[in-house]
Amino acid sequence: MNITNADLHCHSVVSDGTLSPEDLAIRAQTNGVELWSLTDHDVIGGQARAQKAAIDLGMKYVSGVEISVSWMDQTIHIVGLGINPEHEGLVAGLLQTRDGRVARGKLMADQLAKVGVPDAYEGAMQFCGNPELLSRTHFARFLVDQEVCKDIEEVFTRFLTPGKPGYVEHAWATLREAVTWITTAGGVAVIAHPGRYRLTELQKDEMYKSFKEFGGQGIEVVTGSHAPYQYHEYEKVALRYGFYASRGSDFHSPDESHTDLGTLPMLPTSLKPVWSLFNFN
Ligand code: AMP
Ligand code: MN
Ligand code: MN
Ligand code: MN
């Protein structure tokens, strides 16, 4: 089957999005998405609901997750597509990755209190649908709600990023672990939004090579996290390293996200879409 509109990256209230899996499915279908994936951070609790909603609306669905990885003192994200959400190794690995978010959140709040923003832990929790997944996004929503910042973008320039108040280092999964959990669960590993990482060309080369060596096969080329000029940049990367290409909005919220579900340009025609690896019934 020829898919033209695939959106294989977004978030629900099960992680740091603001819509339910069902409301995301409706939004995707309304915007013409034919193949959809919900890729919550480090959690697969929304997969059954997303799949059911997608099928009921006549869309194709591939299961998904976005795993937080620590690599070279940075956080990078690896999307897993077509995984078996019940695979024991994956389930255990994600549980291990989620562990520590609450303790980290308390340390983040301590830092924010010191710069005059009290009660941020409780405040962030008010915006959080799943305490195991308490994330910087929930703190950002609290800071906007408190009128400390005018929007989420301002939060991530003044707070919550390395060197700024409210940023706490965390050891996520290793790259090898994330790719292995995904592939042993029958999925395809995809490097999320490569244009966002502050890595040198040499470090990026090392990341692509290690990712491949561990069994990774895909890279996001057209994503809501890339500026249009980066589509071509990562088209070249996909060709050079032999990666399958993915497309996804990284939609989190109607009030916050610049890119809506299903509205990005198509993948460059030179690339092999990652969804060509999946069999649809
Ligand atoms: P965490 O996993 O708790 O470290 O939170 C990471 C999340 O914060 C990402 O998935 C994004 O949703 C959000 N985030 C990080 N940087 C930015 C940014 N510059 N602008 C908007 N959201 C961001
Ligand atoms: Mn997020
Ligand atoms: Mn991400
Ligand atoms: Mn994401």
Task: Pick the closest to residue 10 from 1, 99, 27 (CA basis).
Answer: 27
Tell whether ligand 1 has an atom less than 6 A from the beta carbon of residue 137: yes
Query: Tokens 């898919």 belong to which residue?
Result: 3
- Residue ranges of domains in the chain: 6-97+172-277, 101-158
Q: Which of 125-129, 167-171, 219-223, 277-281 has the lowest mean pLDDT?
A: 277-281
Tell whether ligand 1 has an atom less than 6 A from the beta carbon of residue 152: yes
Ligand 3 center to residue 193 CA distance, Å? 7
pLDDT above 90: percentage of residues in the chain = 98
User: How confident is the model at residue 248, as a pLDDT?
Assistant: 98
User: How confident is the model at residue 17, as a pLDDT?
Assistant: 98
Ligand 4 center to residue 269 CA distance, Å? 24
- Ligand in nearest proximity to the CA of 250: 4
CA distances from 166 to 114, 127, 252 (A): 10, 17, 21
User: How confident is the model at residue 208, as a pLDDT?
Assistant: 98
Ligand 4 center to residue 64 CA distance, Å? 11
User: How confident is the model at residue 2, as a pLDDT?
Assistant: 86
Average pLDDT, the chain: 97
Cβ atoms within 10 Å, residue 61? 20
Tell whether ligand 1 has an atom less than 6 A from the beta carbon of residue 41: yes
How far is residue 246's CA from residue 191's CA, in Å, rounded to a whole number? 9
Tell whether ligand 1 has an atom less than 6 A from the beta carbon of residue 86: no
Confidence bin at 5 (pLDDT 50/70/90): very high
Measure the CA angle with vertex 39, ends 104 and 231; round to 5°: 105
In the CATH hierarchy, which top-level class contains the domain 101-158?
mainly alpha
How far is residue 101's CA from residue 81's CA, in Å, rounded to a whole number? 24
Confidence bin at 1 (pLDDT 50/70/90): low
Radius of gyration of the chain (CA): 18
Confidence bin at 260 (pLDDT 50/70/90): very high
How far is residue 73's CA from residue 96's CA, in Å, rounded to a whole number? 19
Cβ atoms within 10 Å, residue 106? 12
How far is residue 123's CA from residue 159's CA, in Å, rounded to a whole number? 15
Tell whether ligand 1 has an atom less than 6 A from the beta carbon of residue 156: yes
How far is residue 67's CA from residue 146's CA, in Å, rounded to a whole number? 30
Pocket test of ligand 1: the residue of 137, 160, 168 to mutate, having most ligand atoms within 8 Å of its CB, is 137
Residue-wise pLDDT tens digits, 90-105: 999 999 999 999 999 9
Neighbours of ion ligand 3 (CB under 5 A): 77, 192
Record: fold of 6-97+172-277: TIM Barrel (3.20.20)
On the question of a common fold for 6-97+172-277 and 101-158, the answer reads: no
Tell whether ligand 1 has an atom less than 6 A from the beta carbon of residue 68: yes
- 3 with 32: CB under 8 angstroms? no
Tell me which residue has its CA closest to atom 12 in ligand 1: 137
User: How confident is the model at residue 143, as a pLDDT?
Assistant: 98
User: How confident is the model at residue 281, as a pLDDT?
Assistant: 54
Calculate mean pLDDT across residues 129-149: 97
Tell me which residue has its CA closest to atom 20 in ligand 1: 153
Ligand 4 center to residue 39 CA distance, Å? 7
The residue ranges of DSSP E strands in the chain, in sequence order, are: 6-7, 35-36, 60-61, 64-71, 74-81, 188-191, 218-223, 244-248
Ligand 2 center to residue 1 CA distance, Å? 31
Tell whether ligand 1 has an atom less than 6 A from the beta carbon of residue 136: yes
Tell me which residue has its CA closest to atom 5 in ligand 1: 136
Tell whether ligand 1 has an atom less than 6 A from the beta carbon of residue 135: yes
Burial 199-233 (b: 16+ CB within 10 A, else e): beeeeeeebbebbeebebbbbbbbbbbbeeebbee
Output the DSSP codes for 196-248.
G----HHHHHHHHHHHHHHT--EEEEEETTS-HHHHHHHHHHHHHHT-EEEEE
Ligand 1 center to residue 137 CA distance, Å? 6
Calculate mean pLDDT across residues 264-275: 98
How far is residue 250's CA from residue 47's CA, in Å, rounded to a whole number? 16
What is this structure's pTM?
A: 0.98
How far is residue 224's CA from residue 195's CA, in Å, rounded to a whole number? 11
Residue 53 identity:
A
